[in-house]
């Protein structure tokens, strides 16, 4: 992912699905968060900048949900996406074990169905950010 050039795919990708390895975000791991080598949210933003998919869908453990969302939601909104996020448990589907996951869905403004079908400022209260240049300002992945 760190070396993938998504520019040749611009206009050809409709859905970008991603999920970081969980170790940096898990409460069971070292809890390195955004300083860990497996924290790939900035790379997802870079790829979105390069190929501009209609939809971005992410999944990860919820242990570091606030930091994950602080990085990715404003960056995607700055690129013109409407972002919705939530933590859901597999127990709600009748599963006997409780397995919570953070899901993030971002839809390009005017992309699918005209208005993207999502409302800003939902559960996490994110407001649009960015200067409209389309540059993703989510930090670096060094």
What are the E-state strand segments in the chain?
Answer: 15-18, 55-60, 81-89, 100-108
Closest to 73 in 3D by CA, of 119, 18, 128? 128
Q: Residue 139, by phi and psi: left (phi above 0), alpha (psi -120 to 50) or beta?
A: left
The catalytic residue positions are 22
Sequence-ordered list of residues with C-beta below 8 angstroms from that of 37, at least 6 positions apart, any chain: 24
Distance from C-alpha of 81 to C-alpha of 61, rounded to nearest angstrom: 22
Residue positions counted in the chain? 142
Residue of 112, 116, 111, 62 lying closest to 85 (CA atoms): 62
């Amino acid at each position: 992912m760190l070396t993938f050039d998504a520019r040749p795919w611009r206009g050809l990708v409709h859905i970008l699905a991603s999920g970081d390895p969980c170790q940096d975000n898990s409460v069971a791991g070292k809890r390195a968060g955004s300083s860990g080598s497996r924290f790939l949210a900035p790379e997802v933003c870079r790829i979105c900048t390069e190929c501009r998919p209609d939809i971005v869908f992410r999944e990860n453990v919820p242990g570091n949900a606030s930091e994950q969302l602080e990085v990715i939601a404003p960056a995607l909104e700055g690129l013109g996406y409407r972002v919705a996020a939530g933590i859901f448990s597999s127990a709600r589907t009748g599963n006997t074990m409780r397995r919570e996951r953070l899901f993030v869905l971002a839809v390009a403004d005017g992309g699918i169905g005209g208005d993207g079908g999502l409302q800003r400022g939902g559960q996490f209260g994110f407001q649009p950010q960015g200067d409209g240049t389309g540059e993703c300002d989510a930090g670096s992945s060094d």
